[in-house]
Amino acid sequence: MKHVSSLSLLLLLAGTVAAQTLTNAGAQLTVGAGATLYVSGSLDNQTASTLTNAGTVHVTGDLTNTGALTSPGTLVFAGAANQTFTPGTATVDNLTVSNTGAAGSNILSVPTNLTVGGQLLLTQGMVRTSATSAITLADGATLSGEAVGRYVQGNLSVVDNNGSGLQDFGNGLILDRTSLGIVVVTRTAGLQTAGLSYGVNAANTSLQGIDRIWNVVTATQPAGPLAITLQWLPDDDNGLADFSNAQGWYSASGPTAWVPAGSSAPATQDATTLVRSLTFTAPATGQSLGYLTISNTANPLPVSLLSFTAERRGPAAVLRWATASELRNNRFEVEAGTDGLSFRAIGTVRGAGTTTQRHEYAFTDANLSRYGAPVVYYRLRQVDEDGSVHLSEVRPVAYSVPAAYSVQAYPNPFGSSLVVRVAGTVGGPATFVLHDAVGREVVRRQRTLPSGAHDVTLAELDNLPKGLYVLTVQTPSGRRTLKLERE
């Protein structure tokens, strides 16, 4: 077991003449409280090795841990070029980043998940996670020192286990966390990746938000809408120059389908720190408040389609959809098919052009039986004014195909009355028309029939002369004709 004291630190510094790698290959290395281990180069704590730091470990190169690393003290990354901290299963209380390299060469990369239990302090340089990893600040841990050119890029999660009142989570989000239980706020920033660190309008990807997205997950469903304050640095403006009409956005399902949150308002900016802020009201959706971000009114983010449903209503299918906003939307073409792959247009609904207001639409397909299939599939083809096309998801409607549709009449020849049996029809209006041999309409009857089989009696036919007649029956299932004789 090796123990680093203040005296051994002086000897190490005196013998340091060039960058090197300190390798712990199977030993137990302990840095006591008040002591500092200074590594002019990289530190490699290998498998089956133990590094315990109750003091300070100061590294100018990379730190790679595949063994056991426990640090109730402080890890300091103070290189003059990019560094990497691969934590493995490390337990870290305090992490300080003080990289003196030039912009772009002063980044501490953290490629795998890391939890900080005490303080993450930035004095110089940047911290960057991968797109799939995160730095998590445990309950009670703090983040200090973020500023222009010095902040955490990638995923930064903050956990808050309890409390009430207005809470600044330290990663640019402030909300009243009363009665929300455990709250986890994950900020994804600075990765310059659409749908990950910034939102885009699916209909026009040149319209985008700032390069920061927050995901808020609460253990208890909020009782109602919440006032949210989001803060960001000019580093993440993402090319947006005017925040005099800043707009908050939220999404319950993921950072792709955005809905406006509150009205647009001017963002404020602190004259000293240059931090920008916007406060808006976000609706509560389930147990997860959802994803939040900022753009401006010139860059609307939501996809046109907010919801799309299709359901059976008797013999018909009723389609409903809503848009959160629209950009040069000319029309919706309603399409149907029986295999979910091939579709044909069955109707058109005009769009609202360009609007930031919610719009609701509906379309009824009146006769499901005409498809002759147990399931009918629907989709929307949204067409922009420039001819661009965007397809919705497919929605199925189940329909029980009735028995073969048939019409019979008896007796034939008939006398003073005629019984017409209609079988295999869906419920709905039915028309019975009798024409004579030269095509003149002599009898017309209207009935409303239930589904299945049903008998309809046509009475008071005594005044009809003897001869040939044609009976036409029209129902929601189709048209049938019969040749009859009056005796």
∠ Cα 2 40 80 (to 5°): 145
* CB contact at 8 A, 314 and 366: no
Whether residue 413 is preceded by a cis peptide bond, meaning omega within 30 degrees of 0, is yes
What pLDDT is recorded for position 456?
A: 92
pLDDT tens for the chain, 487 residues: list them.
445 443 344 334 333 434 689 999 999 999 999 999 999 999 999 999 999 999 999 999 999 999 999 999 999 999 999 999 999 999 999 999 999 999 999 999 999 999 999 999 999 999 999 999 999 999 999 999 999 999 999 999 999 998 899 999 999 999 999 999 999 999 999 999 999 999 988 767 888 999 999 999 998 888 888 889 999 999 999 999 899 989 898 887 778 778 778 778 999 999 999 999 999 888 765 556 789 999 987 787 765 677 899 999 988 999 999 887 777 789 999 999 988 888 999 999 999 887 767 789 999 999 888 887 889 999 999 888 878 777 788 899 998 765 677 899 989 999 999 999 988 777 788 999 999 988 899 999 999 888 778 899 999 898 899 999 999 999 887 888 999 998 8
| pLDDT confidence of residue 8 | 40
User: Residue 6: its pLDDT value, please?
Assistant: 39
Looking from the CA of 135 toward its CB, the CA atoms found within 13 Å total: 31
CA 125 to chain centre: 32
Least Cα distance to 317 among 373, 381, 363, 353 occurs for 363
CB 371 within 8 A of CB 390: no
CATH 2.60.40.1930 residue ranges of the chain are 405-486
Residue 485 and residue 464 in contact, taking contact as beta carbons nearer than 8 Å: no
pLDDT score recorded for residue 16: 40
Write down the pLDDT at residue 59: 97
What residue spans in the chain does CATH classification 2.60.40.10 cover? 304-398
User: Whole-angstrom Cα distance, residue 74 to residue 72?
Assistant: 7
pLDDT of residue 9: 42
Residues composing the chain: 487
Distance in angstroms (rounded) separating the CA atoms of residues 441 and 435: 4
In this structure, the number of other CB atoms found within 10 A of the CB of residue 145 comes to 15
For residue 452, what pLDDT is reported?
Answer: 79
- Report pLDDT for 288: 61
CATH for the stretch 405-486: 2.60.40.1930
CATH superfamily of 304-398: Immunoglobulins (2.60.40.10)
Q: What is the pTM of this model?
A: 0.65
